[in-house]
Structure 1
């Protein structure tokens, strides 16, 4: 699959869920001419008690998904954008050109898998609300994805993630007052303020650091994301040195 695919855990109707999506589409959505949403909901045969997929069924679901997308994705009249897994089902989402007979194509693709119950449907969604408002992660979830990617890169350098070291952070705000309010708050949380990064006519930066363990980064910077957003700004990420054995 082309694009920038990633996943995150969340809740859907108070049930644990996992969402996989192409993050790269957020800057282009909605794509011209793809005004309808098609979905194919597959009912798992051996879900976990919490409704997520089980290890027992994992390989079978992967093989089915590969076969399903191999049949559907070559059709230029649809664009696969993501899926969710929750409450004993896995639902695939596609945006469709007007001429795409999605329900018929979905039924044809599933004919090779009679052991699985499914349903399929279509609806108008010219603004891509399902992609933007349902599949796409909230700021905290998006940061958790980025954290996981950075940690994976550090592991690739044989980093000892449990070892404390200076972690640098950045955030940007639309005015001096909100930047100063955030700076005062992070100082109260034990961070050290550094000279601010270059801003622009429309943004004001805050740079700060603290000695922390990278393997605890979610508990460290997800509150920073929330606080920056509450003040009208954006948390812009973190970095640290690699520590090898």
Structure 2
């Protein structure tokens, strides 16, 4: 089930200041629709950009309202994955089926025009989600911090004691089954046990899940350590789940 996890961070695009928003949930490849293989970028010039080429606070709110409406207008197979503001324009990134519903474009244009902008569109094949993974995704440490902060805040609000050990499962992703099995062997020596066998997807990526008992307040350091174990195998730590 897709639960959006929007994260906004400051960056640079072509040496210009940028503000990028990314739905971190789609880092989990299992949430990506297999038919959504085309990248569709909607763009529009800012009405009153700042000296840095970014949106003013007022226009940022108008853009947020427009992007929210864009998300609400999309069919299930068209996924809104992020957007950015830079160099005097704002843009939204979608992944769509290659046979895009022709009725969708007029709807999107109408939403953008209501905000006073003139929209342009760029489309290209991107079956491996290269744009999402190399452009929209924040650096690994930034992504892990955002995931940890959100999950720990949820546990804290639910009244959990973050200093008490509990079983926590970690979902990992690798480019091959062999890489996953090597990582599982290394993690076994650190006290992690697999909760499910490695599962290879149609895109050839393999997911694995391991579990260990730890207090949640050590998770920021723990997820970074797990990422360091996965990195030499081109793997990633996707998310963690408190299971007890």
TM over 0.5: yes
TM-score, length-scaled by structure 1: 0.60
- Which entry has the higher C-alpha Rg, 1 or 2? 1
Q: Which residue of 1 aligns with 2:21?
A: 19
Q: Distance in 2 between matches of 1:103 and 1:126?
A: 21
CA contact (8 A) 2:192 2:211 kept: yes
Q: Distance in 1 between matches of 2:185 and 2:219?
A: 27
Give 2:79's aligned residue: 80
> What is the deviation of 1:224?
1.6
CA-based RMSD: 4.5
- Tell me how far 1:139 sits from its aligned partner: 4.8
Which residue does the alignment assign to 1:3? 2
Q: Which moved more, 1:23-32 or 1:116-125?
A: 23-32
* Aligned residues of 2:83 and 2:92 also touching (Cα < 8 A): yes
Structure 1 residue 44: deviation in Å?
A: 3.3
2:177 maps to none
Query: Does the aligned pair in 2 maintain the 1:170–1:238 contact within 8 Å?
Result: yes
Distance 2:224 2:113 in 1: 47
In structure 1, the partner of 2:89 is 89
Q: Residues of 1 paired with 2:120 and 2:133: CA distance?
A: 23
Q: CA deviation at 1:41?
A: 1.3
State the secondary structure of the residue aligned to 2:114. Answer: coil
1:178/1:231 contact within 8 Å kept: no
CA distance in 2, matches of 1:167, 1:86: 42
Shift of residue 39 of structure 1? Answer: 1.4
Task: Check the 8 A contact 1:3/1:22 in 2, yes or no.
Answer: no
CA–CA separation in structure 1 for the residues paired with 2:209 and 2:30:
23
| Unaligned residue ranges in structure 1 (runs of 5+) | 184-194
The number of residue pairs the alignment matches comes to 216
Q: Which runs of 5+ in 2 are unaligned?
A: 173-179, 199-207
State the SS of the aligned residue for 1:5. coil
Alignment pair present for 1:178 and 2:186: yes
Q: Is the 8 A contact 1:37 1:123 kept in 2?
A: yes
1:37-57 CA-to-partner distances (Å, cap 9, x unmatched) read 321113334556665554333
